[in-house]
Amino acid sequence: MKNLNTFLGILLVTGFIGCKSNSSSHSHDGLESHSHEEENHKHSINIGSTSDYFGDYEVEDTAYGTKTKVTIVGDQRVMITNSLPNHKTGDFPNPGNPNTISKQNKTYSFPIKPKYTGKSQWMREPGIALNGVKFEPQTAEVVVCETGENYRVEAIQNVIDLGLDFNHAHVQPTGEYHYHGTPTSMIETFDTGKDLVHIGFAHDGFPMYYSKSGKYKSSFKLVDGDREGEDCTYTTHRTIAIEAKGHHDGTYGSDYEYVAGYGDLDECNGIEIDGNYMYLVTNEFPYVGRCVMGEVEQEQQGPPPNGERRGPKGNQTAGRPDASEIIKKMDTNKDGKLSATEVKGPLKQDFNKMDANKDGYLSKAEIEKTQKRNRP
C-alpha cells in the first residue's frame, strides 16, 4: 500500500464527494486494459454488468455493524472499513476458535489499472472482499515431527478443528474475521444472478470472482506417494499427538503441487476471460490463491511462511521452521531458550554440538547459526 496518508488527506478534503450507494452502475467493460496474452488462460463468457463495485460504493449493514466505504482517488481505489462482515456468521468463540469478532480500523488501496507481470508473488493476504473482510487462505498452525519434518496445516481439513464456520472463516486473536475459503454467505449477498459473482479485489488491483457453476478448475493436484514423519505433535494451549505419516490427503499445504495446464487456472488461481485477467475463489485447493500476478507493494506481506519453501512446480513443501518458531514450539517454561530436556529430534541429538557457549541451553542465535551452516 502506498502513500495512504496522501489518499486519506484527499479523502478528507473531498469529504467523499461523489460516493455512490449500491444503486450506481459500473460495468466490467472498464477493465479491458487488465488483460494479458497467454492463450491457455483465455475463455469466453458474457460477464456483463457487475453492479457498481468498480467505482465508489458503500456497504453498511446495521444488523451486523458493517461499515465499508470505497472511493476512487486518483489512480487508486481506497477502502476504509471496520472489517465486519455484512452477513451471518458462525458462533464465536467456539471449541476450535476462542476468539470473538470485533471491529477493526483498516485502510486499503488498490491500483485502478493493475499491471500484469506474469510472475507470481506470494501473499499472506492476497486480497480483500467487497465488504472489507480480508482473504487469508493459509494458517499459522504447524505439525512438528521429532524426525525433523514439519507440515503447515490447511484451514479446510478434518484433522485439527480450527473453528471455521460455514463461510470457511474464523477469527484471529485480534478479533479480525477473515476468509480461508469460499465466503458462502457473502456470495449469496453479492449474487447478481450471473455465473461469476464479483466478491473482492486482490492487492495488485485485479478483481476476485466466484463461479457458481464451478466451471473453472484449479491446476493443483495431490502429490503422489506418502508423507514421512514420526512422533509428530501439534501445539496450541496444549500439545496433542498427530499422525502425519501417510498418504497426501490435503491436510497440509505440502500435500498439493501446482501442475501448469492441469486445470483452467494459473498458480495464483487466476485466469483471463474476455480479455480481462481476474482471480477465482474456488471450492477446491487452493480455495483462494496464495499469490498475485500483478505489480504490488507487499510491505505487510513479508516472505513465505516459516518452514515452507517453493517446490520445483511452485508447490509449497515441508521444510524446517526458523529459530523463533522452534523456540516457540519447544520452550515449555517460556524462558526464551531451550534446555536439553525441552528439545526433540535432531536438536536433541546435536544439542552439545549446537551449544556453542556450553551454558546448557540453545539460544536463538545458536540455532540460527546451525541452520545457516546446514542450509543447502
Summarised one tens digit per residue, pLDDT across range 225-247 is: 999 999 999 998 789 999 999 99
pLDDT (mean) for 107-129: 96
- Got the DSSP string for 92-129? SSBTTB--------EEEEEESS--EEEEEEE-SS-EEE
Residue 10: pLDDT band with limits 50, 70, 90: very low
What grid cell was written down for 124? 499472506
CB atoms within 10 A of CB 195: 15
More confident of the two residues 325 and 97: 97
Please report the pLDDT score of residue 100 as a whole number: 98
In the chain, the percentage of residues whose pLDDT exceeds 90 is 63
Structure confidence at residue 341 (pLDDT): 86
Q: 207 CB contacts (<8 Å, ≥6 apart)?
A: 31, 54, 198, 200, 201, 278, 279
Segment 258-263 shows an average pLDDT of: 96
pLDDT in tens, 304-351: 554 444 333 334 444 456 788 788 778 888 888 889 888 876 677 788
Measured CA angle at 306 (ends 304, 310), to 5 deg:
50
Q: Grid coordinates 505489480 are at which residue? A: 295
pLDDT at 271 over 70: yes
Instruction: Report the pLDDT value the prediction gives residue 264, as an integer from 0 to 100.
Output: 98
Closest CA to 265 of 248, 289, 249, 283: 289
Mean pLDDT in residue range 291-308: 67
38-42, 46-50, 99-103, 132-136: the lowest-pLDDT one:
46-50
Residue 207: asked if its preceding bond is cis (omega within 30°), the reply is no
Q: Residue 373: pLDDT band by 50, 70, 90 thresholds?
A: low
* Rounded average pLDDT over 131-143: 96
Mean pLDDT, residues 156-181:
97
Superfamily name and number for 323-374: EF-hand (1.10.238.10)
Cβ 144 vs Cβ 249: under 8 Å = no
Q: Report whether pLDDT(24) > 60.
A: no
Does 367 have pLDDT greater than 70?
yes
- Residue spans of the domains in the chain: they are 4-138+159-218+263-303, 323-374
At residue 338, what are phi and psi to the nearest 5 degrees?
Answer: -115, 130
